Amino acid sequence: MKDGTDIVVVGGGLAGLSASFALSRAGRRVAVFEGDSEVGGLSKTIRRGDFRFDLGGHRFITKNEKTERFVKTLLEGQYLTVPRKSKIYMQNKFFDYPLKPSNALFGLGIPTTLKVISDYSKEKIKNLFRTPKNISLEDWVVSHFGRTMFTIYFKEYSEKVWGIECSRISEEWVSQRISGLSLGVAIKNAFFKFSGQEVNTLVDRFIYPPMGIGQISDRLKAEIEKENPVLTNTRAVRINHKNFLVDSVIAANCDRRYEVRGSEFVSSIPLTGLVKMLAPPPPDDILDAVSRLKYRDLVIVTVMLDRERVTDLTWMYLPEQDMRLGRIHEPKNWSPHMAPEGKTHIVAEYFCFRGDGTWNLPDGRLVSLTVKQLEKLLAIRESEVIGSCVVRVPGAYPLFEVGYTKHYSRVLRYLRNFRNLHIIGRTGMFKYYNMDRAIETGIEVAEDILGKQPRQKERETLPAGA
Ligand SMILES: Cc1cc2nc3c(=O)[nH]c(=O)nc-3n(C[C@H](O)[C@H](O)[C@H](O)COP(=O)(O)OP(=O)(O)OC[C@H]3O[C@@H](n4cnc5c(N)ncnc54)[C@H](O)[C@@H]3O)c2cc1C
């Protein structure tokens, strides 16, 4: 590492790497600390022999032309444009995703379809006379789609993803990122026409690097390393500050701990972890507030198969509660380079909380559970299984529980006192951001530091109504 590091970036996911890339390009001395053995964070691609898989299929889409150009240039034109083709498995049937009206009608039957339409119309009429008070996801969905639609489609999948009842999931999640509500938008589109508005989540093609989404992070790392170090297997364990000015980070790898000084500090690690790392520690009310912010975690189980292909799908959504799986994808349908010829693999996502029954299941049990479900769902045979891999992913989703904004705002207000500590990215800012926004927050903070474009921090980080 060069002497006189100027800017310390903690977390080598897309946000941290993008910030470091922009700062390195501008000639600044940056050091990146990444706790894992590889960069990429949630957007990394795991390699097992000749098989590759993302931590849940990651497609790159954006409405921001500058961000799209940034990614395409970084990949040096080496990307695929992949058609999207997905299904939802409900009531023991496969439905197209996005739903087509005919598909929905025949799948649900005419009486249920009529009930969906009449409930929706009732809510629309009610909304002419009152502004609905939307506090929870349930309130929001019922007032926008009607009660029948909520019960049939939203309830099970949302509760599976978030692990709490829809009445406890904050409406903020929906309003913060409508494309996150992909299931609902698809259904609404199937039954009722949108007013010409392009919905990000329904875009039918996306950009995908041939060797997996982790190629974006690997390219960023390679570019940064032309000028500056990216230290993997190195965790930040303490952030020393005085009078709201950070002066050093204590980093640790398996051999030693050391102190790195700098003038600016950028964090993309979980917001909760960052606050607990501050030395001296924040006041008790801040520690209490941060202890109330939670992330939803994920277990990924990949099953390698001695078969050329199982599906022709990008994703399959599995809302039903009697199936523990939440979503699956077959990486070979994203890029043919993700598995060797004549073989394929299915990647299954289990939404869970760190330390719960799913998280703690031994790997062998998770694999056999997955194979059993895939036998039922996709008619694979156990004798075709030639390998497996289990990856536990902490902090996959910020959990927006009703009332979280009070605690979140308190933490942000405290952090804003720091003059040289910047938080970025999905995990770092506790926002439901996709890759494009993670990249953008990294570049924005770099511009901020370089003094080019001061950010409007109030607008950027405080939740509505906070
Ligand atoms: C299942 C799933 C599917 C998704 N699909 C899509 C998709 O299709 N399209 C899309 O655009 N987005 C998708 N996303 C979102 C996307 O993954 C994120 O927006 C993006 O990866 C966030 O990057 P980040 O750098 O903000 O955070 P992270 O990727 O979380 O990076 C934080 C980094 O900090 C490191 N770290 C943590 N603690 C420490 C420490 N103490 N010291 C040093 N390092 C530390 C972590 O190891 C990690 O590398 C998906 C997310 C999930 C969970």
Task: Determine the pLDDT at residue 263.
Answer: 95
Residue 197 has pLDDT above 60, yes or no: no
Identify the residue with better confidence: 289 or 457: 289
* Per-residue burial over 28-45, b = 16 or more CB atoms within 10 Å of its CB, e = otherwise: bbbbbbbbeebbbbbbbb
State how far the Cα of 252 lies from the Cα of 280, in Å rounded to an integer.
Answer: 19
If asked whether residues 100 and 162 sit together in one domain, one would say yes
Kindly state the average pLDDT of the residues 61-73: 96
Examine residue 68 and state whether it is found in any structural domain, yes or no.
Answer: no
Q: Are residue 170 and residue 259 in the same domain, yes or no? A: no
Give the CA distances from residue 107 to residues 94, 113, 187, 329, in Å, rounded to whole numbers and listed in that order: 8, 9, 13, 23
**Cα(57) to centroid(ligand 1), Å:** 13
Least confident of 76-85, 92-101, 313-322, 325-334: 92-101
Atom 52 of ligand 1, nearest CA residue: 396
Domain coverage including residue 252: 7-45+211-293+401-461
- Which is the closest atom of ligand 1 to the Cα of 236? 42
pLDDT of residue 359: 98
At 91 the pLDDT is: 78
Cα 202 to middle of ligand 1, angstroms = 22
Query: In testing the pocket of ligand 1, which one of 18, 268, 392 has its CB within 8 Å of the most ligand atoms?
Result: 268
- pLDDT on residue 180: 47
State how far the Cα of 72 lies from the Cα of 83, in Å rounded to an integer.
17
Do 425 and 285 lie in a common domain? yes
Asked, for residue 105, whether it belongs to a domain, the answer is: yes
Beta-bridged to residue 421, according to DSSP, are: 265
> Whole-angstrom Cα distance, residue 85 to residue 186?
13
What's the confidence (pLDDT) of residue 147? Answer: 87
Mean pLDDT, all residues of the chain = 89
Which pLDDT band, with edges at 50, 70 and 90, does 105 fall under? Answer: low
Same domain, 232 and 273: yes
Domain end, chosen from 154, 174, 198, is at 198
For residue 150, what is the DSSP state? I
Domain presence at residue 91: yes
In a domain, 122, yes or no: yes
Domain termination residue (choose one: 198, 222, 245): 198
pLDDT at 24 over 60: yes
Structural domain includes residue 334: no
Q: 330 in a domain, yes or no?
A: no
- Pair 106, 179 in one domain: yes
Contacts of 5 (CB under 8 A, 6+ apart): 29, 30, 31, 260, 261, 262
Domain boundary among 139, 171, 198: 198
Helical ranges in 97-213 per DSSP H: 101-108, 110-129, 137-145, 147-149, 155-162, 171-176, 182-191
Q: Which of 150, 87, 88 is nearest to 320 (CA)?
A: 88
**H-run or E-run covering 420:** none
Q: What is the pLDDT of residue 102?
A: 66
> Hey, what are 194's tokens?
């949108």
Q: Are residues 156 and 123 in the same domain?
A: yes
- Residues 110, 184, single domain; the answer is yes
Categorize the per-residue pLDDT at 454 as very low, low, confident or very high, splitting at 50, 70 and 90: low
CA 8 – CA 247 distance, rounded (Å):
10
Residues 154 and 99 in one domain: yes
Asked, for residue 368, whether it belongs to a domain, the answer is no
Tokens 């170090």 sit on residue:
229
104 and 191 assigned to the same domain: yes
pLDDT at 369 over 70: yes
Question: Residue 357 in 3-state DSSP?
Answer: helix
Measured in angstroms, how far is the CA atom of residue 13 from the centroid of ligand 1?
6
Are 189 and 227 part of one and the same domain?
no
Any domain includes 77:
no
Claim to verify: residue 269 and residue 407 sit in the same structural domain: yes
Domains of the chain: total: 2
Mean pLDDT of 218-232: 97
Residue nearest to atom 20 of ligand 1 (CA): 435
- CATH, residue 255: 3.50.50.60
Ligand 1 pocket list (CB less than 6 A): 10-16, 33-36, 41-43, 55-56, 58-60, 235-236, 268-269, 273, 298, 349, 396, 425-428, 433-436, 438
Tell me how many degrees the CA angle 13-18-19 measures, rounded to the nearest 5.
Answer: 105
The answer, yes or no, to whether residue 198 has pLDDT greater than 50, is no
Instruction: Tell whether 181 and 225 lie within a shared domain.
Output: no
- What is the percent of the chain where pLDDT is above 70? 88
Nearest atom, ligand 1, residue 437 CA: 19
